[in-house]
A and B are shown apart, each in its own frame.
Chain A
Amino acid sequence: MTIRLENLTVKFDERFQLNTINWELAPNQHWVITGTNGSGKSALAAVLASVGESISGTIEGLPAKVGLVSFEAQAELIAAELKKDDADIMDVISVGTPVRDILNAAASNTQLLNELVEKFALTDTLERSFRTLSTGESRKVMLIRALASQPDLLVLDEPFDGLDANTLVMLQQYLASLIETIPMVMVLNRFDEFPDFITHIAYMDHGELKHQINRDDEKAYAELYQLLHLKTSNLQIPAADPDTVIPRLDPEQPLVRLNNITIKYADHKVIDSLDWTIQPNQHWQLSGPNGSGKTALLSLITGDHPQCYVNNVFVFGFQRGSGESIWQIKQFIGYVSTALQWEYRVGTGLRNVIISGFYDSIGLYSKYTDRQREIANQWLALLGMSERADQPFNKLSYGDQRLLLIARAMVKHPPLLILDEPCLGLDDMNRQLVLALIEKICADSETSVIYVNHHPEDQIKGIDNYLALEKH
């Protein structure tokens, strides 16, 4: 049945609205929705899963069962799990829901579910608590949930983000095998990820559906590609704050020295006997499949992982566990990761989010200087967000949040910049902006960069050390 949106205006909250959408999806079509960050791509996809408050216009032909995968849906599931953990005035720590229960609740076909679990290589994680999964693993859970529910329509918002290379190829093939039975709508930021079976492209801009393009129309397709690209030459990184003094480090000592590192949960070893030394001015790329412990390893360095106290961790002149505080460690680090983005659930303004990078806090609790405010304004201008400086952060789209957190990580020009899959959720244009920023920072002599990334094409000039983790 054809899905028909006519003059549809949908409100999401006070901040965002989709305006007078006219759109028809025939049963044999497969769509990609694209556009810049914050343009309403995800919102339009979510409308197909009955999210949002319809103000005017009509929508008809929506199938009963829609399988939705998105960061918002994932964040909701994670928030629900976190909320369970809050139930501890009774002073009991909840262990969280096992992955098996989360999957069973959604599946209508056990055999299919088992096949998918195997395809996504999640068999080993079934008994683990959902909360302990890595970013990539929890994304896989979302995908399996949607696919195993045997939906009449699949709505996949950035389904490939955060998946390791093998899983990505598998998923693309698997989706291709479904095209005769299930119509699909995908939100994709990267042109190079558009699957071959996509028949139509919808381009969003400022909450409006601006262009609808048939994949076969080569001229229109090329124009759209240009629309999404922007030159990133003449890029200037805002200066550091001369008054935010980061203590001098001994140039003869490594920034980070990890000796014989082991990270384990119950009996499961994520990292086993690893050594890693990062010298000043070295840049590193860290890679490995989903669940190989990339984020866990990095959080040993940032001090966010409690097992940093039972490992031989030397960072910025401190042997961990010798009486230092985590704030003494964090002052040397700028950090971006998906985990941080989930933690950063605050309603503070955009400018404050950037300023919080000077204080290593989530939210801002300190009085800042005029100079810091000025530097934050320069970053906002660079990101094209100057007019939104005082809007609440938690109402931004996922990609825009990501951009701000990258600015927050870079704002103090830290001795060590850790970018854990920084480009997740960014459109082509912003991805190039961020990659250009990282190259600038790498070229600059004061910062060492650790860069985690699954996409081989997102190589960064200046990174010449590599550490590849394996899944245990």
Chain B
Amino acid sequence: MSNNYFNTLPLREQLAQLAKCRFMDISEFPDGVSALKGKKMVVIGCGAQGLAQGMNLRDSGCDVSYTLRAAAIAEKRQSWKNATENGFVVGTYEELIPTADIVLNLTPDKQHTPVVTAIMPLMKHGACLSYSHGFNIVEEGMKIREDLTVIMVAPKCPGSEVRNEYVRGFGVPTLIAVHEANDPKGEGLALAKAYAVGTGGHKAGVLMSSFIAEVKSDLMGEQTILCGMLQTGSLLCFDKMIEEGIDAGYASKLIQFGWETVTEALKYGGVTNMLDRLSNPAKIKAFDLSEELKLIMRPLYNKHQDDIIDGTFSRTMMADWANDDVNLLGWRAETAETAFEKTPAGDVEISEQEYFDHGILMVAMVKAGVELAFETMTAAGIVADSAYYESLHETPLIANTIARKKLYEMNATISDTAEYGCYLYNHACLPLLADFMKGIKTDVIGKGQDLADTGVDNARLIEVNAALRSHPVEAIGSVLRGHMADMKKIV
């Protein structure tokens, strides 16, 4: 059935598409939402993301309504309630799609093929179809009618934030792209820009990318550092602490909330700041551990990237979709049975600093994962801006889901695509790190270093600091965080 779009392109075109990503200045949006004026926007799906975007667009003066499957309307499902209680017109595909100038497909990836197949014949000649993720186009090779314009507008935050930031008078960073094979009138970019303005994204920074760069970097980030590394790290660190006699409740809490705490430092000041939160000897220790981890895990990161680029990953996963998700559901059940998942966080106080001091290994794992994902992506031709957003920028968002309800919550909240990739990573990474973990003691996970002398060698500290600060993810990170800070500088 499917025909991987990326694989149909010649190499030079593949490279050009992967390398697309440019940070747009707010001065590039002088026309506001005018390209959408007088046009009818119809959103498919009314989950949190769909609702948030629709509300923002309507508050920006756009004409927005929602279309749901007839069953969702007849049974008054939650999506129907979300839309009607907020005062939107709701109708079936047959009622609304033929009236739409722009159709916003905000359904989950897995439903894209059936949904797009159902609506495409109903769409007006010359209308526009918008995606928020390019999997369907790039990996499944969905062919869109030639008269239709195809764009992508993807806010890089969960729906609630998309809405809250807009209400505050700001926005969230947003990625836009035009599918060049479907831009018959050459209006794709103008529509995507206006749509980004309508959701408030232009105030927080818009990245102009391509469908291909978005898909290949998004898949890589989510399955390695974002979800895979945090899941593998959680399981390994927990089992090690239990083995070393640390109280189970304490261990569970240290991990559940530790990722969120240490990556909060990452969000504000990159890998450098995260390691700067440690004492000098602990920082050097974390650095050494992460170097070791990078050496061991690099082939795994390369394999994930290679499988994503050549389509092996999506083919394998789609085979599982076709097989009733047997693998996915099996792995999900297996995760629910792990010791970490089943041990509730203890009722103990852990101060913010203690998460760093007692979680040196976790810091090292985040550093290794972020840097490896970034290095692997850029080596595959993805530009640094994309690679930064899909690795470092999103790690705190995922860490936050673990803080809520551990791995179950994380895997429930991420897409099925991310979840599938996460399990692949986890199964390969656990045995890969088995030997490494044998050498780990509670000084780096659970208890922290207990040193009588916290002195360090000057030359060694300078070397470590220089290595941290000169990593390419830090260079691009400080530029992009600077853009954000410029615009959000006072907050």
* Interface range for B: 35 or more
Assuming the contacts A86-B160, A309-B58, asked whether A359 and B169 have C-beta atoms less than 8 A apart, the reply is: yes
The distance in angstroms between the C-alpha atoms of A87 and B203, with both chains bound, is 24
Assuming the contacts A309-B58, A325-B60, asked whether A88 and B87 have C-beta atoms less than 8 A apart, the reply is: no
- Interface-facing stretch out of A178-186, A299-307, A463-471: A299-307
The distance in angstroms between the C-alpha atoms of A352 and B489, with both chains bound, is 11
Chain A residue numbers with a CB within 8 Å of B397 are 89
User: Are the CB atoms of A365 and B85 closer together than 8 Å?
Assistant: no
User: Are the CB atoms of A86 and B158 closer together than 8 Å?
Assistant: yes
Chain B residue numbers with a CB within 8 Å of A304 are 167
Chain B residue numbers with a CB within 8 Å of A86 are 158, 160-161, 400
The distance in angstroms between the C-alpha atoms of A304 and B87, with both chains bound, is 13
User: Are the CB atoms of A265 and B61 closer together than 8 Å?
Assistant: no
User: Are the CB atoms of B86 and A89 closer together than 8 Å?
Assistant: no
State which of A90, A327, A363 has its C-beta within 8 Å of the C-beta of B170: A363
Chain A residue numbers with a CB within 8 Å of B161 are 86
User: Are the CB atoms of B59 and A89 closer together than 8 Å?
Assistant: no
Bitwise, B103-135 to A at CB < 8 A (1) or not (0) is 000001000000000000000000000000000
The distance in angstroms between the C-alpha atoms of A347 and B161, with both chains bound, is 17
The distance in angstroms between the C-alpha atoms of A349 and B59, with both chains bound, is 28
Tell me if A124 is interfacial: C-beta within 8 Å of chain B: no
Chain A residue numbers with a CB within 8 Å of B86 are 306-307
Chain B residue numbers with a CB within 8 Å of A347 are 491
Chain A residue numbers with a CB within 8 Å of B60 are 325-326
Chain B residue numbers with a CB within 8 Å of A306 are 55, 85-87
Name the residue of chain A whose CB is nearest to the CB of B51: A93
User: Are the CB atoms of A348 and B87 closer together than 8 Å?
Assistant: no
Name the residue of chain B whose CB is nearest to the CB of A303: B59
Assuming the contacts A87-B404, A89-B397, A93-B47, asked whether A352 and B413 have C-beta atoms less than 8 A apart, the reply is: no
Chain A residue numbers with a CB within 8 Å of B167 are 304, 343, 362
User: Are the CB atoms of A93 and B413 closer together than 8 Å?
Assistant: no
How many Cβ-Cβ contacts under 8 Å join chain A to chain B? 100
Tell me if B317 is interfacial: C-beta within 8 Å of chain A: no
State which of B37, B55, B108 has its C-beta within 8 Å of the C-beta of A323: B37
Chain A residue numbers with a CB within 8 Å of B168 are 343, 361-363
User: Are the CB atoms of B47 and A87 closer together than 8 Å?
Assistant: no
Q: Please give the distance in Å from B222's CB to the nearest CB on chain A.
A: 11
The distance in angstroms between the C-alpha atoms of A440 and B28, with both chains bound, is 44
Tell me if B159 is interfacial: C-beta within 8 Å of chain A: yes
Assuming the contacts A306-B55, A347-B491, A348-B490, asked whether A89 and B401 have C-beta atoms less than 8 A apart, the reply is: yes
Chain A residue numbers with a CB within 8 Å of B491 are 346-348, 363-365
The distance in angstroms between the C-alpha atoms of A359 and B169, with both chains bound, is 8
Chain B, range 3-60, C-beta contacts under 8 Å to A: 33, 37, 47-51, 55, 58-60
> Can you add 8 more A-B contacts, CB < 8 Å, to A90-B412, A90-B413?
A88-B413, A91-B48, A91-B108, A92-B47, A324-B61, A325-B59, A363-B169, A365-B170
B contact set with A: CB distance below 8 Å: 33, 37, 47-51, 55, 58-61, 63, 78, 82, 85-88, 108, 158-161, 167-170, 203, 397, 400-401, 404, 409, 412-414, 487-488, 490-491
A contact set with B: CB distance below 8 Å: 83, 85-93, 95, 265-266, 303-304, 306-310, 323-328, 343, 346-349, 352, 356, 359-365
